[in-house]
Structure 1
Amino acid sequence: MFSQPLSAAQAQVFDLLQQRIRQAYGAQRTADAEALCTRLKRYLPDLLPPLAAVYGEHPGFEAFVERLVDTLVKADLERPEDLRQLDLERLLAPDWFQGPHNLGYAAYTERFAGNLRGVAEHIGYLEELGVTYLHLMPLLQPRPGENDGGYAVMDYRAVRPDLGDMDDLEALARALRERGISLCLDLVLNHVAREHAWAEAARRGEARYQAYFHTYADRAVPEQYERTLPEIFPDFAPGNFSWDAEMGRWVWTTFNAWQWDLNWSNPEVFLEFVGIILYLANRGVSIFRLDAIAFIWKRMGTDCQNQPEVHLITQALRAAVRIAAPAVIFKAEAIVGPRDLMPYLGVGEHYGKVSDLAYHNSLMVQIWSGLAARDARLVRQALEAFGDPPRNTSWATYLRGHDDIGWAVSDEDAAAVGWSGEGHRRFLSDFYAGQFPGSFARGLVFQENPRTGDRRISGSAASLIGLEAALEQGHPQALQQATERLLMAYTLVLGFGGMPLLYMGDELALRNDYAFTQVPEHASDNRWVHRPRMDWVAAERRHDPGTLEGRVFEGLRKTVQVRRATPQLHAAFASRPLRLDTATVLGLERAHPQGTLVQLYNFSETPQGIHGSVLKERGILRPLDRLSGRELHFDGEWLLLEPYARLWLVNASA
């Protein structure tokens, strides 16, 4: 996190690399050369140690480092002037992505607006919501046919032809940037499509490219690995290895037979990805979602997830990119347990040096758990298991994403509140599949594993939270409750701190899209049920308070506006759960120099009370709710909360 002086050995390396850089720039660009050298000196202590730890034993390590710097020089020489200006601005304001003004929005390009030019035509809609960060789901050239929703990439330097081309991507990034919106793209690190040029060369027998992958002549080694490897997609892609008849070898395929796992122990793979990242960064991409990052390092006898080398490699990637494109940040797609998640932001010697953002998967899971159980105790227990993230990083908080929901509830957390972990996970699967008596949800079971009992859930936020059922039943009270439930859940996402993310359509309460079964390449994957096309007719109703779309859109928009003006929600200040006597209410405290903020969330459809001492002990003697702008009053010693209430309380006298 903090700048370190160069060691004597690093200073020697720096002197050699500095000469190389100055020679490459020549006399015409001395200022740019010196700026690059300054960044190299700053980040070399973050770059060299992890590279040496992972690749130091390879022959020619010194030449590898020189080739890496040549890649950085080439990218810096090609970097457009407007992006150089952005680099400078973000170097001067390194917390640009941590402030409470930030709001992310995630969408599939074709489902949001048809193509990249269509997205550009709808920037005004994003501005109206307050979006500052747009994550367009996989749009780089995938393999034809089945491609895991675009995560089987065939060419990292090309755009899917039906969406546009690289010029369209660059134009969109520029248009977004001019309106204060950063563009985020997926970078699939663990695997490439079987049709990628590297894999094609490997299948032709080229040894250089076979070394980019994990391939085996027989099943002996794969079977040793399989003893400890889980199955990610047991329904349609069992096992972790596939036979390639053309190559005549077994290849590691964690996700699908046509997604070949890369061999990150090969330094050539590292160099390839530095080049890819900087190529896209020079076209205006400033946030990379590091997809499937937990899987990139393989170790016999483990589940081959969250290995120490993952964090070393990510730190080295981040340091390299900081040198050549300092406006760029990384977001880790690490959907892992609490103990494994924090290292993706950096702990110990890696503190604050790995990814800048990481998904808070546990918060997402616990919100759904609390809503089903009408009980916030497990939510609080799970959040207490997290330490504070590094102060220069941020959680990415969300209610729904493009993926299924896996019930990452630990047995230890469940036991701490007197529950069975296995029983609660089974309850959540039943509840959100609509199979539990009294459930309000309309979800689909995804990838049931009979051996482990694991069942994940697909479904849009609106359908899982009860809006689809309420509309089917024509039940006004149920519709009102479901609307309040959705707004409460998203207010918690917005209030937890960090970078909150809206999933496309949630702002309009779009429900499940069951037409996915009519699309051959989607029919076998029910996650497409919560990937609907944007309903622009419904969006026209967003300003009508008498419509569902109007109530949800305006409710979210107003909360976003309040958030922007609430300094306590800067990501550098952590949320800490409060221990309350009321089981259905979650309390969060955010201490801040401008006064403590206490948030209260009622997870039930019944009124609840909170003893006033919770607020008074934190200096909130006259509670002012930032969301409504109203000063609240105690009923005796109690503060009363309406069903699904959400309160952001500060002291009125402050």
Structure 2
Amino acid sequence: MSDLVQKLTANLKHQLDVIYSGISLNRSTDQLADELIDRMNLDDVTQEPKPFTNHWDESDAVLISYGDSIERKNGYSVTEAPLKTLHSFVSGPLKAAFNAIHILPFYPYSSDDGFSVINYSVVNEALGDWHDIRRLSADFRLMSDLVINHCSSRSVWFDQFIKGESPGRDYFRTELPSTDLTKVVRPRTTPLLRETQTVQGVQHVWCTFSPDQVDLDFTNPDVLIEFVKIVRLYLDQGVRIFRLDAVAFLWKETGTACINLRQTHEIIRLLRTLVEHACHDAVIITETNIPNQENLTYFGNANEAHCIYNFSLPPLLVNTLVSGDSTHLKRWLMTMPPCQDGTAYFNFVASHDGIGLRPVEGLLSEKELNGLINTMMGFGGRVSMRTLDDGSTRPYEINIALFDALQGTHAGPDKWGVQRFIAAHVIMLALEGIPGIYIHSMLGTRNDYARFENTQHNRHINRHRWDLGELEAQLGDAQSTHAQVYNRLIAILAIRRQQRAFHPNATQFTLQLGPHIFGIWRQSIDRRQSIFCLNNVSDQTVELSLIDINLIDSVTWIDLLTGQAIPDHQATLSLPPYGSLWLSNA
């Protein structure tokens, strides 16, 4: 055994000792460490990860899509594997804008559009096969979900649990219904425990999200071994970014909130250790839709998640643009610590889910939150609820297509929808971090009421499936809002990826220019480029004095978004409703 493997083994043993402290195991943590190394094929590892290394730069941007967001159809029949159709589509103009793609769960599933996984080791045949996944990974840095907290009640593992057969019989978390679980944080309104008839009698299985999504029991180290094998498989198929879905709920202890527990954090650190030794530039992103300060803990000391979802950004940014006031967005941004090297924020405005509301707890008042919810409902949105420990319910997320969410202000719909929508992305793309854009934002997709009515699933309002022919017709029509959004965002992304000051770890300062202007200053790591990012977040023209920005007179300043030079550094500029400037010295 090489010195490096010995060091890795010792590190893994320490992490396993932390995770399984106080738990009686059927083998030692030394043996478990050896198993992990074997499952990850690290017996002859020759490269040690370098700490505080950034595996990203300003050219990075992630496109987020379901495998079947775009389908090639003949009538109602899909005529081509959707993953092939998606690959063909993203290989066009989008390839100049994105170098990474997140394919949402592409495995066989029983509910929740993929997040109730039946089999982690195969591709859903309705989407394609592993060849299609590898082809995408050859052209894009591939991001995949590791749905780690739970699996489907129709999985082989759960069938084994019911029948009392190995290995699944010991894979699931059960609890007595008499146990006091009132402290458990709930993201849904469904019962926490599911009554299940097994060969050993009635068992009550823990279900954080739904009765079909049965929680795995990581106090059994064999469950951890299974997921390490899955990680190795995904690496072999070309996955380089792992999104740990719902990972905050992973470890349960009665008498606690069963969220963000120390064992959960240590498991993430262990997975990072393994992934980085297997592939030096592989990245872990934690999906933790929780209050902002709790979310930040998932960086650890640059030894846990490489990236965390910036969950507070979408509700704050949408609130800013419908209210015309950037005060809360600026106040929050000033509290966000700069990321250490080796870590980065993952920024987004829209996702396949909804606009989460827990991340703005303590950031927006109850009145402001209710105002935002009411405005979104007026624009056709839906609201999903969660259960509190006293049995009452509270809004958990707003379900709405982003284009519809930004069609107006608190006063109602107006004529500035496209400009407001573009402004949201211009702001997000300028912020410290790696940007991710949902494919339906790139396409300006509207609320899908037909799909929602068919399924009565709130999130389906924002999970439209485009017919390729119809989509191409829309994108070929210059007057179409879909074409306007698509072409403009591609152009902005192409500009962004050329700017060193937009490196995810470049310096960022928040500017104080009044409530109607949201401004930040970015400076490249080598300090050679500065960009002042200035955005009118209101539906009124705003006068902006460049004296307030203090541009250096000896430097030529150019608006990157238009290519126009700014000849008078003390001029007053008129920013139209939702207008933006990226003023750069280079």
CA contact (8 A) 1:366 1:379 kept: yes
Q: Could you tell me which residue of structure 1 aligns to residue 550 of structure 2?
A: 616
- TM-score between both structures, scaled by the size of structure 1: 0.80
Instruction: Report the alpha carbon displacement of residue 184 of structure 1 after superposing the two structures with TM.
Output: 1.5
CA contact (8 A) 1:491 1:646 kept: yes
For 2:431 and 2:10, the matched residues in 1 are separated by 33
The one-letter amino acid of 1:245's match is Q
Instruction: Report the alpha carbon displacement of residue 362 of structure 1 after superposing the two structures with TM.
Output: 0.8
Q: How does 1:57-456 map to 2 (within 5 A)?
A: 58-59=24-25, 60-73=28-41, 95-96=54-55, 98-113=56-71, 114-125=81-92, 127-143=94-110, 147-164=111-128, 168-169=129-130, 171-179=131-139, 181-206=140-165, 209-216=168-175, 218-221=176-179, 224-225=180-181, 227-234=182-189, 237=190, 239-246=191-198, 247-346=201-300, 351-408=301-358, 410=360, 412-414=362-364, 421-434=365-378, 441-447=379-385, 451-454=392-395, 456=397
The one-letter amino acid of 2:509's match is R
Distance 1:321 1:648, change over 3 A: same
For 2:50 and 2:246, the matched residues in 1 are separated by 28
For 1:612 and 1:467, the matched residues in 2 are separated by 29
Q: Could you tell me which residue of structure 1 aligns to residue 20 of structure 2?
A: 55
Q: Could you tell me which residue of structure 2 aligns to residue 510 of structure 1?
A: 445
Distance 1:578 1:324, change over 3 A: same
CA contact (8 A) 1:447 1:455 kept: yes
For 2:193 and 2:393, the matched residues in 1 are separated by 20
Instruction: Report the alpha carbon displacement of residue 76 of structure 1 after superposing the two structures with TM.
Output: 7.9
For 1:622 and 1:219, the matched residues in 2 are separated by 70
Instruction: Report the alpha carbon displacement of residue 177 of structure 1 after superposing the two structures with TM.
Output: 3.9
Query: Which structure has greater helix proportion?
Result: 1
Consecutive unaligned residues of structure 1, counting only runs of 5 or more, are 1-16, 19-36, 78-83, 415-420, 435-440
Distance 1:290 1:623, change over 3 A: same
Instruction: Report the alpha carbon displacement of residue 360 of structure 1 after superposing the two structures with TM.
Output: 0.7
For 1:300 and 1:154, the matched residues in 2 are separated by 28
Distance 1:544 1:161, change over 3 A: closer
Q: How does 1:595-634 map to 2 (within 5 A)?
A: 595-616=529-550, 623-632=557-566
For 2:520 and 2:368, the matched residues in 1 are separated by 24
Which of 545, 564, 573 pairs up with 2:506? 573
Instruction: Report the alpha carbon displacement of residue 202 of structure 1 after superposing the two structures with TM.
Output: 1.7
For 2:7 and 2:431, the matched residues in 1 are separated by 32
Q: Could you tell me which residue of structure 2 aligns to residue 22 of structure 1?
A: none
Instruction: Report the alpha carbon displacement of residue 395 of structure 1 after superposing the two structures with TM.
Output: 1.6
Distance 1:49 1:599, change over 3 A: farther
Cα deviations across residues 145-164 of structure 1 (Å, max 9, x unaligned)? xx111111111111212122
Cα deviations across residues 339-392 of structure 1 (Å, max 9, x unaligned)? 11122222xxxx211122221111112111101211000001112221112221
For 2:421 and 2:441, the matched residues in 1 are separated by 9
CA contact (8 A) 1:288 1:331 kept: yes
Instruction: Report the alpha carbon displacement of residue 52 of structure 1 after superposing the two structures with TM.
Output: 2.2
Instruction: Report the alpha carbon displacement of residue 457 of structure 1 after superposing the two structures with TM.
Output: 1.5
Query: Which structure has greater strand proportion?
Result: 2
Deviates more, 1:104-113 or 1:367-376: 104-113
Cα deviations across residues 43-90 of structure 1 (Å, max 9, x unaligned)? 56764432221125554111111111221227989xxxxxx9xx99x9
2:357 partner SS: coil
For 1:177 and 1:207, the matched residues in 2 are separated by 35
Q: Could you tell me which residue of structure 1 aligns to residue 430 of structure 2?
A: 495
CA contact (8 A) 1:615 1:621 kept: no
For 1:467 and 1:375, the matched residues in 2 are separated by 14
CA contact (8 A) 1:289 1:331 kept: yes
| Aligned: 1:534 with 2:466 | yes
CA contact (8 A) 1:596 1:619 kept: no
Cα deviations across residues 159-206 of structure 1 (Å, max 9, x unaligned)? 212122xxx32x234433443x11222111111112222222221224
CA contact (8 A) 1:75 1:279 kept: no
For 2:418 and 2:554, the matched residues in 1 are separated by 29
For 1:550 and 1:410, the matched residues in 2 are separated by 33
1:152 partner SS: coil
2:284 partner SS: strand
Cα deviations across residues 262-281 of structure 1 (Å, max 9, x unaligned)? 12222222111111110121
1:155 partner SS: coil
Distance 1:187 1:410, change over 3 A: closer
Cα deviations across residues 423-457 of structure 1 (Å, max 9, x unaligned)? 111111101111xxxxxx33222337692442632
For 1:461 and 1:571, the matched residues in 2 are separated by 24
The one-letter amino acid of 2:173's match is H
Identity across aligned pairs (percent)? 23
For the aligned residue pairs, the C-alpha RMSD in angstroms reads 3.1
Instruction: Report the alpha carbon displacement of residue 604 of structure 1 after superposing the two structures with TM.
Output: 0.7
Instruction: Report the alpha carbon displacement of residue 566 of structure 1 after superposing the two structures with TM.
Output: 0.5
CA contact (8 A) 2:52 2:340 kept: no
For 1:483 and 1:530, the matched residues in 2 are separated by 18
Distance 1:129 1:468, change over 3 A: farther
1:110 partner SS: coil
For 2:246 and 2:481, the matched residues in 1 are separated by 36
Distance 1:554 1:42, change over 3 A: farther
CA contact (8 A) 1:46 1:315 kept: no
For 2:167 and 2:462, the matched residues in 1 are separated by 41
Consecutive unaligned residues of structure 2, counting only runs of 5 or more, are 72-80
1:245 partner SS: strand
For 1:389 and 1:64, the matched residues in 2 are separated by 33
